[in-house]
Amino acid sequence: MAGAPNDRLSKRIEELEEEWDIERFLEMNASALAFTGVVLGLLWNRKFFVIPCLVLPFLFQHALQGWCPPIPILRRRGIRTRREIDLEKYAIKALRGDFSAIRGDGNDPGTQGRKAWDAADS
């Protein structure tokens, strides 16, 4: 992206803000599977209740340990963590010059802090 025009950099930042991270994929898939298992268990056959009984402990494990068996599968599919997405986003913001206004130019720390916040938030 270095050397790309600012409009391309801005477009990529917008794409990154829309990108789903691995947590969101995991939560969506776990809830969809658990909900499907409950509905099928209620409407079709009680044996389908085994699906949420398998999926929900994985979600619980992820909440406690930050890892569960579906994580390697999602990683192989190219799903990134929020930190990885944010690193790319802020690197592009730096290329675009968003942080150039944050310098020790005699401003008080509160003003510099506000400038840093605004640059990161834009």
Is residue 39 pLDDT above 80, yes or no?
yes
**Both structure tokens of 91:** 């690197």
pLDDT at res. 101: 74
Q: What are the distances in angstroms from CA 84 to CA 4, 39, 56, 66?
A: 21, 36, 26, 15
Is residue 114 pLDDT above 80, yes or no?
no
3-class state of residue 67 by DSSP: coil
Q: pTM for the full model?
A: 0.82
Q: Maximum distance among all alpha carbons in the chain?
A: 71
Q: Over pLDDT 70: what percentage of the chain?
A: 96
pLDDT at res. 118: 77
Contacts 24+ apart (CB under 8 A), 58-61: 58/30, 59/26, 59/27, 59/30, 59/34
pLDDT at res. 106: 62
pLDDT at res. 63: 94
- Cα separation, 58 vs 60, whole angstroms: 5
